[in-house]
Chain A
């Protein structure tokens, strides 16, 4: 009969063997325990073809990410992505690559010097999955109106679009953007100001050309007077 000491020794040695074999695994393989689908996507992306097996996850999410990952509930786990990670490979001199597209690359990409506002993924990710980034020649958003429109893709939450808000709203539609300190022409508008604009222009035209001009026409000098 196995005594208690033997029992503990067996458990302990099993733990040692398991932890040794786990830590000897490539980091990527550890990630794929839970994220095998994601890893497959990364392999298909432009990054997957360029980066080696050891780098694919770490290069964007950081080597500390693994430590942060454990012992936390899902809600507590950070998305683990900072834009500086892009810069570490692609360089932070955004003007060179984006100067032809944007009249003011620094303003567009840095939101007045603040790189924390930059998100490469907004234009370089097709669909919703940032792991499937494609080469720029195949996919990169270049249409200004994707952002500069009332249904801008920059929005994280839908704007208030009730009829009442569209007529008398006194805060910016897409106010999520203004909360982030951004103003995007074409995307941020104050409904009541827009409506006042239209009313003022129409009333001015009616007031001068139709009413004043109409009375002038009625009271005009006729031939022979």
Chain B
């Protein structure tokens, strides 16, 4: 039996849970707003807009929680790739997913208390949390309060440009969510990573979460 390490402090798990709920609700309500004739999960159009607005604002608050917490606790370091990661670490990790995983090779970069993400995780999480989430949230806020940002919205080409940016990012996030859920099954056992993001504890020997 592998030794357990405390990988996800409680605040990170709470953040992750809120983030997960928000993303799922926002994708579904967003789909209803975009395709009102096809998706009816939240009832009326008006309800889906209200749900989307409130969960969008919750996601903004949750993102700020993540940012402040990680900066203050300096745990942001987990997300920053080091010299080993670029490009060697990325290649090694990619090779593992394409080949090694099928031969039951050990994970090349198992999580430790000091470094809980593998190079691919660092890169993708940094891209999503550092770049795409802010753009998604900013485009959402501009879309929510367009009358306060009339000049800026006009300068980028109007509400339609803003809507296309928001929609393209939504597609990327939906695809990421699917890949994220799948890669979470590549731990020691299929359910290992799902348990560890709830309890906070992970196997020290071999643990992978994407």
Residues of chain A touching chain B, judged by Cβ–Cβ distance below 8 Å, are 103-104, 106-107, 112-113, 144-145, 148-150, 172, 178, 181-183, 185-186, 188-190, 193-194, 196-197, 200-201, 204-205, 208-209, 212-213, 215-216, 219, 221
Contact = CB atoms under 8 A, between A and B. Distances in A.
A186 B175 contact: no
Contacts of A145: 36-37, 45
B147 interface: yes
Interface string B20-44: 0000000000000111110000001
B147 A106 contact: yes
A144 B158 CA distance: 22
B182 A213 contact: yes
A34 to B, nearest CB: 42
A103 B50 contact: yes
Nearest to A187: B36
Interface of B: 33-37, 44-46, 49-50, 53, 97, 101-104, 146-147, 150, 153-154, 158-160, 162-164, 167-168, 171, 174-175, 178-179, 182-183, 185-186
A186 B163 CA distance: 11
Contacts of B186: 216
B45 A221 contact: no
B178 A183 contact: no
A204 B34 contact: no
Interface of B is mostly: helix
Given A204-B179, A215-B102, A216-B101, 8 more contacts: A148-B33, A178-B158, A183-B160, A186-B33, A186-B45, A194-B34, A213-B185, A221-B104
Contacts of A189: 34-35
- Max count, chain A CB within 10 A of own CB: residue among B49, B50, B153, B183: B49
Nearest to B101: A216
Given A183-B160, A200-B175, A216 B102 contact: yes
Contacts of B44: 144
Contacts of B163: 183, 185, 188
Contacts of A204: 175, 178-179
Contacts of A213: 182, 185
Contact of B146 (A112, A193, A200, A209): A112
A202 to B, nearest CB: 10
A188 B171 CA distance: 17
Contacts of B179: 204, 208
Given A149-B36, A196-B171, A144 B164 contact: no
A113 B175 contact: no
Nearest to A106: B147
Nearest to A218: B102
Contacts of B34: 185-186, 189, 194
A113 B148 CA distance: 11
- Max count, chain B CB within 10 A of own CB: residue among A144, A150, A172, A221: A144
Given A103-B53, A186-B35, A208 B182 contact: yes
A62 to B, nearest CB: 30
Contacts of A205: 178
Nearest to A199: B171
A188 B33 CA distance: 11
B45 A181 contact: no
Contacts of A185: 33-34, 163
Contacts of B45: 144-145, 148, 186
B168 A103 contact: no
Contacts of B33: 148, 185-186
